[in-house]
Amino acid sequence: MCFLYLVAGEDNQIPFFRIIKMTLKRTLILCFLLLAIASAGAQSEENPLRIFGYFQNSLQQWTAFQERPKQNSFSLQQLNLLFQKDLGPSWTAFVNFEFLNNFSSSRQWGSFNLEEAWVKYRASMRFNLKLGLLVPIFNNLHEIKNRTPLLPYIIRPLAYETSFSEFILIEVLTPVRAFAQAYGFFPAGEAKFDYAVYVGNSPNISNDPSRGQTGVDTTATFLFGGRLGLRYGDLKLGLSATYDKDNSAEDLADALKIARPELSAIPKIRFGGDLSYNFANFSFESEFIKVSLEKDAPKLERNLDFYYATLGYHFTEALFLYGSYWLLDSHAALPALPNEIKEEENDDIKVVTFGASYNMLDRVRLKVQFARIRLDEEELQLQPEMMVRRTEDDFSVFALAISVTF
């Protein structure tokens, strides 16, 4: 008898035929689910989800500078996991996760970022639309700054060196994300005219949970930007610009004993220019970026200028040699009330670097780089009396790396 009843309780006995019925019902539901999964699998065979990515491991030796002693370190500089799926003839979805500097959450090393998550609609070469979290088109190198397998550098030109974001204002120098972008090109004979326009958040992103949702823009302003470019054979050039309003100086208001709104919504303008050209086995690329935040009454200025130029030579199909010069110049003038200290800061970072990269396989690239870096820092105290403090330092970085696409 005990085989014919499922005893859930002494007063709650289920007859055998009900068990069979329930089992059949569950089996049918399971079969249906399996069929649905199999059907989805069959569909995904037509447009499979592609998972791929790349990483760069490096060994870097930094000579001593300021109060930091000489150091050697291996590092998984960057690992990117990419997911791509074609959703239809003209639709593509793309997700990019980025791990930086030996990322480990338990050890509090590095960082893990959702860099991109967008869907693209390609109407024609003249019009593409990306919606979602995306890296907007700015200068030439900005487009591929995080694609380490494409770059000969181990340490990238400073405005693009993501692993230095803890001490270089990368997010001020370049627009790191937008949420809608239209782009394409118009052919005219052998020339192509590129365009891109985008909109995104201004940099006033909340990371304070007590104010509500984090990761969102806390103001009613937007980032607007775009690039116009020309491609003609091996020549590529372009001009880029962005505009947004920045609230980051608001925190100064309390210290300066002025109302916060007086230092809010400061217009920030970025200009960029890029030029690259390949001739015979030589390649040349250069860029500039100018960022300016300015406000009158109270007077506040923050200007960042970045330049780089690289001359390279393809010694063979696999071996590329280059020399490059980078300059990052920053100027900041803070507002001050009468009879209080007023300061200006001028900082320069100059880098001369040489390197080589060698493609061992199509997807394995070895790199070597030497960089000589000079830091010049100048602090001017303008009130109550003029004082100048200058510090200068030189140091070198030698690096080896392997960059792998998988």
Partner 1 sequence: MKIVIVTLLFLFSLIGGLFSQVAVIAHKSVPVDEIKKTELLDFYSGDIKKWSDGSNVIVKDLKPKGDVKRIFYKFLGKTPSRMKSIWLKSMLSGEGDPPEAMKSEEEMLQKIAATPGAIGFLSHTKVNNNVKTLIVIGKK
Kindly list the residues in this chain that would bind partner 1 in the complex (CB under 8 A): 50, 52, 54, 82, 84, 89, 92, 94, 96, 116, 118, 120, 122, 124-125, 143-144, 147, 149-150, 185, 187, 190, 192, 233-234, 278, 314, 317-318, 359, 362-363, 405
Query: Around Cβ 120, how many Cβ atoms within 10 Å?
Result: 19
Q: Which is nearer to partner 1, 147 or 350 (CB)?
A: 147
SS (H, E, C) 289-346: EEEEEEECCCCEEEEEEEEEEEEEEECCCCEEEEEEEEEEEEEEECCCCCCCCEEEEE
Residue 252 phi/psi, 5° resolution?
A: -70, -25
Nearer to partner 1, 95 or 351 (CB): 95
In the bound state with partner 1, the residue whose beta carbon lies nearer, of 50 and 211, is 50
Q: Which is nearer to partner 1, 264 or 310 (CB)?
A: 310
CB closer to partner 1, 230 vs 332: 230
CA distance 395 to 203: 33
Smallest separation (angstroms) from partner 1 to the CB of 7: 58
The smaller minimum CB distance to partner 1, of residues 248 and 278, is found at: 278
Q: How far is the CB of 113 from partner 1 (least distance, A)?
A: 16
Number of H helices, E strands in the chain: 4, 18
Query: In this complex, which beta carbon is closest to partner 1, that of residue 116 or of residue 244?
Result: 116
The Cα–Cα gap between 186 and 194 comes to 7
| SS3 at position 265 | coil
CB of 213 to partner 1, least distance (A): 28
Task: Identify the CA nearest to 306 among candidates 292, 327, 283, 334.
Answer: 327
Length of the chain: 406
Residue type, 255: A
Within 10 A of 87 (CB to CB), how many other CB atoms are there? Answer: 12
Measured CA to CA, the distance from residue 326 to residue 306 in angstroms comes to: 7
CB of 190 to partner 1, least distance (A): 6
| Smallest distance from partner 1 to CB 141, Å | 12
Distance in Å, CB of 128 to partner 1, minimum: 9
